[in-house]
Amino acid sequence: MKEKLMNGLMGFAMFLQNQRHFRAIKNAFSSLLPIIIVGSFCTLFSNVVCNTTPGYFSLANLPGMSWLGNLAPMFSAANYGTMNFIAVGLVILLSMELGETYQVYDRVLPIVTLGSYISLCSTTVLISGENGTVYELANALTNQFTSAQGLFVGLFTALGATEIYCRLVNSGKMEIKMPKKVPADVSRSFAVLFPCVLTVFFVSAVGMIFELITGMTIFNAITTFIQKPLAHVLTGLPGYLLLVFMTTLLWCFGIHGTQTLKAIYEPILLAAFAENEAAYAAGAAIPNIISTPFMSCFSTITGAGITGGLVIAIMIFSKREDYRAIAKLAIPCAVFNINEPLIFGLPIVMNPILAIPFMIAPAVSAAFAYVMTVIGFAGRMVVNAPWTTPPVLMAFLSSGGSAGAAVTQVVCIALAALIYIPFVLISNRQTEAEAH
């Protein structure tokens, strides 16, 4: 049964890792990460450094530091230019990643997919005026379509438009051949002209026909019937704990569970974080508890399985010299949330004794942090700090300066250590039994 389970998980993981669409999604979100970090830190700086609101704790309100308030427009503009256009960035990056899998490197491809996506967005905005008068503003695109709200529609559109374009280009049947004397860049432009036209026309036509038949735009349909239900599942505690369990289960078989499942959970958790970040920037209530930085702070802190707790348990209770030697080497890595030395060195992979707490600790930590956030002790996540940020500092930054979140993270690591201790003691007995 163990062999069947392992083969099944290996097959599932290999499918996700090798399937071109899932791989393209994962790589696109990884490429988008620096922009997200820049935008979220701009929000943090706007509130912690530049906010001059009376009574608000920020550097700008300290004596002699009011000049920092003059920097607020810079950070606000930078945040708008990043976080409010991540759907556009995803469409561009995803089309490039998927196009490369078909050996299509045309520079026009991202523009084609972006044009296809825009064709599905409403460019008419209704504005309420005085006395209930409604005005129609044409040729306007709201941030509903460019920010995280548009991630799911952008994802599907980029995949579909890129598939159509690449298949038409690679078929060679739509190519307009120019004389050899024509410059190569001009010749290539005509060679892909029909694929460009047909791709944009097809996506736009699908959007129009869908709206005629259903009475709602394809954008609203995907948001209502796909994005929101998935968000409800993955940002709720039961669904999130199942996700954490699956990532650690894959790790126990030597598969990078966090990266393998990233294409499935990242669009949802990232959209939840973007909602938090936007609310924080506007000074409104933070809507979501579970988001991308919540996972970094309370499920993968010190590495998947919260193995920082395992290091503590080994250094205090282990009598095995091999475990202690590897744990000492792993301490600097754990500080920056890297745990491969433990996973493959002890090992945790295919080791039932350590695999059990490895799967339990992140779930217990996430549940504890969720409760602490619900009762208001820990702040909600509003900044996507880099995943290599050391513990305590990560939670403090990610929560916009919540000391409760930092304390909660320390307690989570302590809880993980307590969970690992009985299994470290079992390992001691195992060594003694082998010696006899």
3 state SS of 214? helix
Return the pLDDT at 2: 60
> 335: which 2 tokens?
């500080």
Q: 347 preceded by cis ω (within 30°)?
A: yes
Contact 235, 269 (CB under 8 A): yes
Write out pLDDT tens, residues 344-362: 888 898 888 899 999 999 9
How many CB atoms sit inside 10 A of residue 368's CB?
Answer: 16
Write out pLDDT tens, residues 104-114: 999 999 999 99
Write out pLDDT tens, residues 181-220: 777 777 888 888 999 999 999 999 999 999 999 999 999 9
| DSSP-derived secondary structure letter, 379 | P
**In whole angstroms, what is the distance from residue 425 CA to residue 316 CA?**
10
Q: How far is CA 163 from the centre of its chain?
A: 24
The mean pLDDT of 381-410, rounded to a whole number, is: 93
Residue 335 has pLDDT above 80, yes or no: yes
Place of tokens 């548009």: 150
Biggest distance spanned by C-alpha atoms of the chain: 90
Return the pLDDT at 31: 92
CA distances from 166 to 12, 91, 191, 282, 411 (A): 27, 15, 13, 41, 51
Return the pLDDT at 163: 96
Contact 399, 48 (CB under 8 A): no
How many CB atoms sit inside 10 A of residue 262's CB?
Answer: 20
Return the pLDDT at 144: 87
DSSP string, 55-109: T--SGGGSTT-GGGGGGHHHHHHHHHHHHTTHHHHHHHHHHHHHHHHTT---TTH
CA distances from 323 to 38, 67, 268, 434 (A): 39, 54, 38, 15
The residue ranking higher by pLDDT, 387 or 377, is 377
pTM of the predicted protein model? 0.87
Residue 435 has pLDDT above 60, yes or no: no
* C-alpha angle 61-62-63 in degrees, rounded to nearest 5: 115
Looking at 98-102, 123-127, 417-421, which range is the least confident one?
123-127
pLDDT band at 434; cut points 50, 70, 90 = low
**In whole angstroms, what is the distance from residue 405 CA to residue 409 CA?**
6
Return the pLDDT at 21: 92
Residue 315 has pLDDT above 70, yes or no: yes
> 123: which 2 tokens?
């460019």
The amino acid sitting at 310 is: L
**In whole angstroms, what is the distance from residue 130 CA to residue 374 CA?**
40
Place of tokens 């126990």: 252
Return the pLDDT at 136: 80
CA-wise closest residue to 335 among 362, 359, 311: 311
What percent of the chain is modeled with pLDDT above 70? 97
> 77: which 2 tokens?
């503009």
CA-wise closest residue to 295 among 226, 356, 241, 340: 241
Q: H/E element holding 24?
A: helix 20-48
**In whole angstroms, what is the distance from residue 193 CA to residue 291 CA?**
41
Return the pLDDT at 431: 62
Residue 414 has pLDDT above 60, yes or no: yes
**In whole angstroms, what is the distance from residue 162 CA to residue 175 CA?**
17
Return the pLDDT at 154: 94
Contact 434, 383 (CB under 8 A): no
Write out pLDDT tens, residues 113-166: 999 999 999 888 878 777 777 778 888 888 889 988 899 999 999 999 999 999
* C-alpha angle 231-234-236 in degrees, rounded to nearest 5: 95
Write out pLDDT tens, residues 229-269: 988 999 999 999 999 999 999 888 888 888 888 888 999 99
Q: How far apart are the first and last CA of the chain?
A: 30
